[in-house]
Amino acid sequence: MMVKSIDDKVLVKIKKAKGGALFFIEDFLQFGSSKAIGKALERLVKNDKLERIARGIYARLQNDPIIGPVRPSSEAIAQAIAKRDKARIIPTGTLALNALGLSNQVPMNIIYLTDGSASKIDLGKRKIVFKKTSPKNLATIGEISTLVIQALKEIGKDNITDDEVQIVLDQLKKEEKYRLEHDIRFAPEWIRIIMRRALNQ
């Protein structure tokens, strides 16, 4: 009887959430022990009430009228993990390039710098990798200027083209000036030169 009541309480909470919402065992600990909640979630997965996304991560899938159930994006999963861990994360590498329109390549492994724990989340064909970094690398405050610094580091000083610089300058026009001024201090000198050009546009 007790087992059923935990399942019911968990299900009620899940049904109140929007489609696409992500859940962790920690979200239900008011209903029972970690072990009991884990078993309840696995039973709900078995009964198609919930989708298991990765180890310890579950979702109430959003239903699209044309394509059916939609799994949450890797980025949404990464943000949910960061929120749970009260950690800061910033995208790096191909993910940053992609977000700025500097690459069409979809990365198989998406890598974030974090002040939380270093970890890997296996999503089947893709992986989310959290790399521990120094506070300095997480001190930027602008969403676009943060991406620009990471994307340009990925391209490299000797490889960047004039076209790529122009894309970066166009993107930086959307950044709030005070954020850009703040974030310039945390970029390598060759990237600062490009970012200062955006301030003078």
Instruction: Name the domain count of the chain.
Output: 2
Q: Is the dihedral of CA 116, 120, 124, 127 positive or negative?
A: positive
And the tokens for 166?
Answer: 């122009």
Q: Are residues 66 and 100 in the same domain?
A: no
92 shares its domain with 188 = yes
Q: What is the CATH number of the domain that holds 23?
A: 1.10.10.10
Specify if 75 maps to a domain. Answer: no
118 domain residue, yes or no: yes
pLDDT at 129 over 80: yes
User: Does 48 lie in the same domain as 20?
Assistant: yes
Per DSSP, 125 falls in state S
Residue that finishes a domain, picked among 22, 45, 70: 70
- pLDDT for 3 beyond 60: no
Q: What is the pLDDT of residue 1?
A: 44
**Statement: residue 34 has pLDDT above 50:** yes
In a domain, 76, yes or no: no
Residue 187: inside a domain, yes or no? yes
**Binning pLDDT at 50, 70 and 90, where does residue 4 land?**
low
Q: What is the pTM of this model?
A: 0.85
Q: Which of 120, 129, 128, 167 is nearest to 148 (CA)?
A: 167
With respect to residue 162, please indicate whether it lies within any of the assigned structural domains.
yes
**Length of the chain in terms of residues written:** 201
Q: Is-contact 128 135, C-beta < 8 A?
A: no
On whether both 50 and 92 belong to a single domain, the answer is: no
Task: Please give the residue range of the domain that contains residue 18.
Answer: 2-70
Do 35 and 110 fall within a single domain? no
48 and 115 housed in the same domain: no
